[in-house]
Amino acid sequence: MLTLYHYPPSAPSRAAVLVSKLLGIDIDIHILDLKKKQHLKPDFLNINPQHTVPTLVDGDFVLWDSHAIAMYLADTYSKDETFYPKEPKYRARINQRLNFDCGTLYPAIRKICFPIIWLDNDIIYENERLLLNDALGFLDIFIGNNDFVVGNHLTIADCSLVASVSSILIVELVDIRGVENSVVLVMEYLPCSLSDVIRYVEKPITLAQTKTYIQMCLSGVSYMHNNHIMHRDLKPSNLLISHSGILKIADFGLARIYKKTDLRTYSHQVATRWYRAPELLYGSRTYTPKVDIWSVGCILGEMIHRKPLFPGETDIEQLAIVLGTLGTPDEIIWPGVTSLPDYNKISFSHTSPKSWKTVIPDGDKQSLNIIATMLQYNEAERPSAEEVPSIN
């Protein structure tokens, strides 16, 4: 049996685990907590005097360095050559990417992340940021129009590079601490939320700011959705603003992974009421990430209107306000509405849709058109985050 000494926050260590999974190799993973200095204990120093993770033990053979481990596992245990082909030029390019990770990309990431994670530092120096940007630029060039770092095939080099790049995200998560029986996540401090910005009466948010924030929000939503995550609780107080005015999506407490091919059902009791999509209000359990697009539409409307668009006090009042604005839905504008779980539980008197100009009198034509497309009953008609026309 192979044993891998592993520490999950370490990118090289994660790369070794990824390779073992990619190759379908059964490995006994032994967690070594670097924060508790377990890697400096004599037992481990006997195995690896350089005291680094990952370290692989294969019988009486010991190997460390994630890239060397990846090559060894692929050469020794892979069923075929798929992920580390022997053809000399192909293999040379994979090795070049692995060396690039080892000598250029990972050191640039480590220089920034190490002081933040281990030394309670919160400064990123400009020269370090530029070095990392340069390295990420090379990575972009390697990928070019392909899907992977060497052409269109997944190789062991992708495992190393993706593990390294994913470490950049840890910078946002400043620390993980165990306190008694719970885990405390220490996040980057962001001074205010979009909710504070909207309600700051002394300096009302301008249309230009509104558009910039919505654009940032949509690019975050697009990133999440492309990575199969639906947030399910987007609202102004979950959109945080950094000192330099960068908007970041926070609070993934209700977020879920979804798959297009999956027919799994989800809870409908998600999203803070005012930003909850109508399919959720009618109890749908097979909704899509378009619930987030509805929420962004509500947020855009609220930024222009300076008041929430649909401020229901109860779930029923929420539905009544939405219907009072968009008009009574039917099977023509919203195919499938009559089959939603809670559709027959409550009926409202018939109402016609209001024009968005009457709902948000201060709205400009372009913003109102965008709100109208995002706030459609039929989720299939709502644009994806990328399809929302850029607001200028």
User: Which residues would be at the binding site for ligand GSH (CB under 6 A)?
Assistant: 10, 12, 34, 39, 51-54, 65-67, 102
Catalytic (active site) residue 262 = no
- Nearest approach in angstroms of CB 255 to ligand GSH is 27
- Nearest approach in angstroms of CB 112 to ligand GSH is 13
Nearer to ligand GSH, 54 or 297 (CB): 54
The burial of 378, by beta-carbon neighbours within 10 Å (0-12 exposed, 13-18 middle, 19 or more buried), is given as: middle
CA dihedral 389, 236, 211, 132 (to 10 degrees): -90
- Nearest approach in angstroms of CB 101 to ligand GSH is 8
Contact 247, 268 (CB under 8 A): no
Nearer to ligand GSH, 48 or 367 (CB): 48
Which position among 65, 101, 158, 233 bears the catalytic label?
A: 233
Contact 163, 206 (CB under 8 A): no
Q: Which residues contact 111 (CB under 8 A, 6 or more apart)?
A: 128, 131, 132
Question: Residue 291, SS3?
Answer: helix
Q: Which two tokens stand for residue 5?
A: 């000494």
Q: Which two tokens stand for residue 135?
A: 């390295």
Q: What CA–CA distances, in Å, run from 89 to 17, 74, 75, 150?
A: 26, 17, 16, 11
Q: Which residues contact 212 (CB under 8 A, 6 or more apart)?
A: 245
Nearer to ligand GSH, 69 or 217 (CB): 69
Q: Which two tokens stand for residue 191?
A: 């001074």
How many Å apart are CA 256 and CA 289, to the nearest integer?
Answer: 10
Q: What CA–CA distances, in Å, run from 389 to 72, 216, 218, 239?
A: 49, 13, 10, 21
Nearer to ligand GSH, 52 or 288 (CB): 52
Q: Which two tokens stand for residue 247?
A: 């908007």
- Nearest approach in angstroms of CB 73 to ligand GSH is 13
Residue that the structure tokens 């090379």 belong to: 138
- Nearest approach in angstroms of CB 306 to ligand GSH is 48
Closest CA to 320 of 281, 267, 287, 354: 281
β-pairing verdict for 247-249 and 239-241: antiparallel
Nearer to ligand GSH, 53 or 296 (CB): 53
β-pairing verdict for 229-230 and 256-257: antiparallel
Q: What CA–CA distances, in Å, run from 90 to 18, 84, 158, 361?
A: 21, 9, 14, 61
- Nearest approach in angstroms of CB 185 to ligand GSH is 20
Contact 135, 129 (CB under 8 A): no
Nearer to ligand GSH, 85 or 107 (CB): 107
Nearer to ligand GSH, 167 or 284 (CB): 167
- Nearest approach in angstroms of CB 127 to ligand GSH is 21
Catalytic residues: 233
